Structure 1
Amino acid sequence: MWRYRLARFVFTIVQRLLCRFVVVGRENIPPGPYILVVNHMSTADSVLVLLGFPAQEWRFFAGEKWADHPLWGPLMSWLGVIFINRGQVDRRALREGLAAIEEGAIFALAPEGTRSKVGAMQPGKDGAAYLASQARVPILPVGLSNTDVLFASARRGRRATMTLRIGQPFTLPDLGRRVRSRDLQAYTYLIMIHIAALVEPRHRGVYSDSPALAALLRGEDPWPHCLASLQALGAPDEGTGLGQAPIA
């Protein structure tokens, strides 16, 4: 646990120099284990997630390209990252992730699988849905806003406000049968809708006009809309990739 306390101490100093940081919804954090899902727009996203939560045992997914990075590689390994082969189903990484959750770790990942270059959400991949369906633990949605302008603002000498909103934990609907690949895509859509509800409208991207998101924002159950919304996006029959830590 000491490594997370040390990391939070160092990151807090850096954060205060670069930006203002607002956290909303800490009262929604459940006891572990759970799976944290978050949108991804900046290399600073993982740091902000760590700062927004109490010091605890974390595990993450991150692309294998970071394993050899002279700075991020050792730091990410030290903080519990599981490196994955991005763009394919890495069964070794999935097994390691499930084992970590079973041992009580908090597992965090960005279902989009890579950092958005346009400041708005991209379609999610199925890793979080698979882990949650197998581990049967709550999912905690988190929305980050304005991290896409963090470094540009800092270069201009401005301290922009970064906001981290923590939503209500939820569980995946029980289908009453074995979960299939298509079900994972619908589950993923549900997860992404919960994230989209927590970010500023300009960040909602491909989910902006979703009937499922509109239902959730009205306080209604979004699940009945998820499969229809998925088909409207023209998603393929088979999901690929796992999602990863919000750092790539």
Structure 2
Amino acid sequence: MRLVRLSDTPEAIAARALETPWLYRVMRRVIYVLIHLLFRIEITGAEHLHQPGGPLLIVTNHLHWLDPPIVFAIVPMRATVFAADKWGRRPIIGDLFRVIGNAIFVRRGEVDRQALKKALAVLKAGGVLGIAPEGTRSRTGKLQRGRGGAAYLAARTGALILPIGITGQEKALRTLLLRFRRPTIRVAVGEPFTLPGTPNQAKGELLNAYTDQIMRRLAELLPPEYRGVYG
């Protein structure tokens, strides 16, 4: 069974990135209410969330599956997100990912050039893209070494980078279910910034330096015990 039929081509994803269909607005409202009903969301730097437009690259740490819904609930712009390709193959779940997150499905364990092409199309169209620069969820609760995808996309497009650090989410459900308490999740939104240089420089050692810059900006938003290799 399919909820909707949406194309996964770069052109279609880029076009949807600039749209806010009614089903997206309804689902965003539902998720917003649920997140704020179940958790105390404390936001610092909320003034940075209101950006005039894209291209905008939202970078976050990734500790729990709650991270995307939290970002979805607090960011006023529609953001395109990455998701594992296994979800895209599931009829109803895949459709929800496409409607809510305008998802770009990524093949894990390899450089997915088609996914990069779609992400570049979103940013070049002036859209908003969300990415966890670590590339995968941290199992230690601390920042892992960043991968080059976020830096590559930002350098190629000149996108503004908005760092968001989230803490407390990794314990939130346990507190909610076992202690019957409404847990606190803290969200720190950093000042937006851009990378220097030109698109042709997005490779090699310079790309590594850009990645390090993004990760250190992200680490600054986290308590010391969450900073991992960037502490």
Mark yes or no: TM-score above 0.5. yes
Distance 2:72 2:64 in 1: 14
Aligned residue in 2 for 1:97: 119
Aligned residue in 2 for 1:38: 60
| Cα distance, 1:72–1:188 mapped onto 2, change above 3 Å | farther
Distance 1:108 1:21 in 2: 19
Q: Taking structure 1 as the reference length, what is the TM-score of the superposition?
A: 0.78
Residue 78 (structure 1) aligned with residue 134 (structure 2): no
Aligned residue in 2 for 1:7: 27
Q: Is the 8 A contact 1:52 1:164 kept in 2?
A: no
Alignment partner of 1:51 out of 73, 77, 85: 73
- Give the deviation of 1:70 after TM superposition: 6.0
SS of corresponding position for 1:169: coil
Q: Is the 8 A contact 1:41 1:148 kept in 2?
A: yes
Residue 65 (structure 1) aligned with residue 86 (structure 2): yes
| Cα distance, 1:90–1:200 mapped onto 2, change above 3 Å | same
| Cα distance, 1:137–1:39 mapped onto 2, change above 3 Å | same
Of 81-90 and 175-184, more deviation after overlay is shown by 175-184
Alignment partner of 1:106 out of 104, 111, 128: 128
| Cα distance, 1:173–1:53 mapped onto 2, change above 3 Å | same
Distance 1:21 1:71 in 2: 29
Q: Is the 8 A contact 1:23 1:163 kept in 2?
A: yes
RMSD of the TM alignment (CA)? 1.8
| Cα distance, 1:175–1:73 mapped onto 2, change above 3 Å | closer
The amino acid of 2:163's aligned partner reads P
Of 21-30 and 66-75, more deviation after overlay is shown by 66-75
- Sequence identity, in percent? 38
| Cα distance, 1:49–1:177 mapped onto 2, change above 3 Å | closer
Q: Is the 8 A contact 1:26 1:53 kept in 2?
A: no
SS of corresponding position for 1:22: strand
SS of corresponding position for 2:98: helix
- Give the deviation of 1:32 after TM superposition: 2.0
Distance 1:23 1:4 in 2: 23
Aligned residue in 2 for 1:206: 229
Aligned residue in 2 for 1:217: none
| Cα distance, 1:27–1:202 mapped onto 2, change above 3 Å | same
Distance 1:107 1:143 in 2: 16
The amino acid of 2:214's aligned partner reads I
SS of corresponding position for 1:188: helix
Aligned residue in 1 for 2:208: 185
Aligned residue in 1 for 2:42: 22
Q: Taking structure 2 as the reference length, what is the TM-score of the superposition?
A: 0.83
Distance 2:139 2:123 in 1: 30
Distance 1:190 1:111 in 2: 11
- Give the deviation of 1:169 after TM superposition: 0.7
- Give the deviation of 1:16 after TM superposition: 3.3
- Give the deviation of 1:205 after TM superposition: 1.3
Aligned residue in 2 for 1:136: 158
Equivalent residue pairs, number? 207
Of 20-29 and 145-154, more deviation after overlay is shown by 20-29
- Give the deviation of 1:99 after TM superposition: 0.8
The amino acid of 1:32's aligned partner reads G
**Runs of 5+ unmatched residues, structure 2:** 1-19
